[in-house]
A and B are shown apart, each in its own frame.
Chain A
Amino acid sequence: MSRPEHRSRLHRWRMVALVVAVLAGVGLATAEEGSAPTPAPAAPTALAAAPDAESSAWYCTGSTTASGPVPGFLVLTNTTPHPVTTDLSAVSDDGAEAHAAVAVPAHGVVTPSVGAVSSGGWEGRTVVVSGGGVAVSQVVQNSLGWSEAPCQSATAAQWYFPGGSTVGSDQLTLSLYNPTPTPVVVDLSFVTPTGTLHPINYQGIVLGPGQVAAENVASEVQDASTVSTVVSARTGRIVAAEVEQFTGSAPGLSLVPGASTPQSSWAVPMAQEPPGGTSEINVFNPGSSSESVRVQLRLPSGPLAPLSTRVAPGSTWSLETSAQTRIPKSEAYSAAVSASGGAGVVVGRTVLWPGATQGPKAGMALAVDGLSSTWPARRWVVPPPGTSGTLPVAGAAPGSLVLFNTSDTTETYTAAAPTASGVRTVATGTLGAGTAAVVQGAPLASVGLGQIVVQASGPMAVSEDGAPSGGAGVVTMPAIALAGPDD
Chain B
Amino acid sequence: MEAQVPAVVAVVVTADPGPWFEDTLCSLAAQDYGELSVLVLAVGDDHEEVTGRVGRVLPDAFVRHLADRRGYAAATNEALGMVEGAAFYLLCHDDVALDPDAVHLLVEEAFRSNAGVVSPKFVNWDDPTVLLHVGMSCDKTGAVVDRILEGEVDHGQHDAVRDVFVAPGGCVLVRADLFAELGGFDPGIVAMGEDLDFCWRSQVAGSRVVVAPAARVRHREAVASGLEPLAVGAEPEGRHPVTLQALQRRHELRAVLKCFTWFPLLWVLPEAALLALGEIAVALLARDGERARAVAGAWRWNARRIGEIRALRRTLAGHRLLSDAEVRRLQVRGSARLSRYLSRLSHQGLDAANAVRSGHRHPERTENAEVAVLTGSVGTAFSEDADFDQLDDLGRRAGRDRFGRRVRTPVLGSGRQRIVAVLLALAVVTLGTRELLFGSLPLVGQLAPLPSWSATWHHFFSGWQSAGVGTTAPASPAFGLVGLTSTVLLGAMPVAQRILILGCIPLGAWGLSRFLRPLVSPRARMVGALCYLGLPLAYGALGTGRWDGLVAYALFPFIAARLARTAGVTPFAAEPGPRWRSGQTGQVAILGALIAATAGFAPAVVPIVLVTAVAWEVGALVVGVRQDAGRVVVAALKGVGAALVLVAPWVIGTVWAGKASVGIFGLPISAATAPGWGEVVRFAIGPAARSPLVWLLVVSAALPLLIGRGVRLVWAARLWAGALASWGLALVTSRGDLGSFTPSESVVLAPAALAVAACVWLGISASERDLAGSEFGWRQVASFVALVFVVVGVLPVVAAAVGGRWGLPSQGVEQPLAFLDQPSTSGVTRVLWLGDPRALPTGGWSVQEGLAYALTPEELPNTEQVLAPAGAGPAGLVGDAVRLALSGGTVHLGRLLAPAGVRYIVVVDALAPSLEGSGTPSVSAPPPAGLVSDLLAQGDLRAVPGEFGVQVFVNVDAMAVTAERVAPLPVRSSSGAPGAADVRGWQPVLSALSAGSAATGPVGSGTVYAGYAPSGSFSLSVDGRHVSGRAAFGWAAQYAVTKGQASLALSQFPLVPLAVTLELAAWVALAVTLVGRRRVASAPEP
Contact = CB atoms under 8 A, between A and B. Distances in A.
B714 A16 contact: no
B724 interface: yes
Contact of A12 (B623, B676, B891, B941): B623
B943 A15 contact: no
B569 interface: no
A24 to B, nearest CB: 10
B873 to A, nearest CB: 22
B624 A9 contact: yes
Contacts of B459: none
Given A37-B672, A180-B942, A237 B619 contact: no
A309 B779 CA distance: 67
B135 interface: no
Interface residues of A, number: 53
A5 B624 contact: no
Nearest to A58: B891
Q: Which 10 A-B pairs have the closest CB atoms?
A: A40-B930, A40-B929, A181-B942, A54-B890, A182-B943, A57-B891, A53-B889, A37-B672, A15-B717, A11-B624
A408 B888 CA distance: 30
Contacts of B884: 53-54
B676 A182 contact: no
Contact of B622 (A5, A8, A14, A35): A14
Contact of A35 (B674, B708, B940): B674
B709 A155 contact: no
A22 B673 contact: no
Contact of A16 (B706, B896, B942): B706
A300 to B, nearest CB: 38
A154 interface: yes
Given A18-B721, A181-B942, A235-B943, 12 more contacts: A3-B774, A5-B774, A9-B624, A12-B708, A16-B705, A26-B731, A37-B929, A38-B929, A55-B889, A128-B891, A236-B943, A487-B888
B939 A57 contact: yes
Contacts of B379: none
A180 B939 contact: yes
A56 B939 CA distance: 10
Interface string A123-158: 000101000100000000000000000000011100
B939 A50 contact: no
B791 interface: no
Interface string B611-640: 000000001001111000000000000000
Interface in A151-181: 154-156, 179-181
Interface string A46-65: 01011011111100000000
A56 B891 contact: yes
Contacts of B728: 22, 26
A43 B888 contact: yes
A55 B890 contact: yes
Given A16-B705, A155-B936, A35 B676 contact: yes
Contact of A30 (B672, B676, B892, B926): B676
Given A14-B623, A26-B677, A40 B705 contact: no
Interface in B729-768: 731
A451 B940 CA distance: 31
Given A9-B624, A15-B720, A54 B888 contact: no
B937 A22 contact: no
Contacts of B890: 53-56
A39 interface: yes
Contacts of B727: 26
Interface in B871-901: 884, 887-892, 896
A16 B889 contact: no
A26 B681 CA distance: 11
Contacts of A12: 623, 705-706, 708, 713, 717
A209 interface: yes
A180 B945 CA distance: 14
Interface string A340-377: 00000000000000000000000000000000000000
Interface string A1-38: 00101101111101110110011001100110001111
B685 interface: no
A160 B896 CA distance: 33
Given A26-B731, A53-B890, A128 B672 contact: no
B880 to A, nearest CB: 10
16 contacts: A6-B709, A10-B624, A10-B709, A10-B713, A22-B728, A26-B728, A35-B676, A37-B673, A39-B929, A40-B930, A49-B888, A54-B896, A154-B937, A182-B945, A236-B943, A237-B933
Nearest to A87: B980
B937 A18 contact: no
A55 B891 contact: yes
A209 B942 contact: yes
A369 to B, nearest CB: 17
Given A5-B774, A12-B705, A37 B623 contact: no
A443 B720 CA distance: 75
A62 to B, nearest CB: 20
Contact of A128 (B624, B705, B939): B939
Nearest to B678: A27
Contacts of B1007: none
A395 interface: no
A429 interface: no
B677 A27 contact: yes
A483 interface: yes
A182 B943 CA distance: 5
Contacts of B92: none
B451 interface: no
Q: Which of A16, A55, A128, A155 has the most CB atoms of chain B within a 10 A radius of its CB?
A: A55
Interface string B673-692: 11011100100000000000
A180 B896 contact: no
A302 interface: no
Contacts of A40: 928-930, 933
Interface string B1008-1028: 000000000000000000000
B190 interface: no
A181 B889 contact: no
Contacts of A30: 676-677, 731
Interface string B282-303: 0000000000000000000000
Contacts of B936: 155, 180, 182, 236-237
Q: Which of A43, A54, A57, A132 has the most CB atoms of chain B within a 10 A radius of its CB?
A: A54
Nearest to B618: A18
A11 B941 contact: no
A183 interface: yes
A18 B728 CA distance: 13
A41 interface: yes
B892 A54 contact: yes
B707 A55 contact: no
B624 A19 contact: no
A310 B926 CA distance: 35
B939 A35 contact: no
B661 interface: no
Contacts of A57: 891, 937, 939
B940 A18 contact: no
A26 B677 CA distance: 7
B917 interface: no
B889 A6 contact: no
B945 A183 contact: yes
